[in-house]
């Protein structure tokens, strides 16, 4: 199931918990979907979208964590 299909409940959960690190698999996202459509602006997001049906991964790290 795509994160996009469950975006409302997912975002409510993320906003309420304020996670430092978020990892997702089977995102089913594609390049036309911006990071800001999925997560708040206070995360640095790295994604590997699939060009075909299914798959995809996402890593988001809170801006409160220093990393390179």
From 21, 24, 19, select the one nearest 6 (Cα to Cα).
24
Q: Give residue 16's domain range.
A: 4-62
pTM for this structure? 0.83
- Number of domains into which the chain is organized: 1
Summarised one tens digit per residue, pLDDT across range 18-67 is 899 999 999 989 889 999 999 989 999 999 998 877 789 999 999 999 97
In a domain, 68, yes or no: no
In a domain, 51, yes or no: yes
Strand 21-25 versus strand 43-48 pairing type = unpaired
In a domain, 67, yes or no: no
In the prediction, which pLDDT does 36 show?
Answer: 93
Flag whether pLDDT at 16 surpasses 70: yes
Residues 47, 57: contact at Cβ < 8 Å?
Answer: yes
Distance spanning both ends of the chain, measured CA to CA: 31
């Amino acid at each position: 199931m795509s994160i996009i299909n469950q975006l409302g409940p997912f975002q409510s959960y993320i906003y309420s918990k304020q996670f430092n690190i978020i990892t997702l698999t089977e995102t089913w996202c594609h390049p036309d979907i911006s990071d800001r459509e999925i997560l708040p602006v206070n995360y640095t997001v790295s994604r590997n979208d699939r060009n075909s049906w299914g798959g995809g991964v996402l890593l988001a790290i809170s801006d409160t964590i220093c990393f390179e």
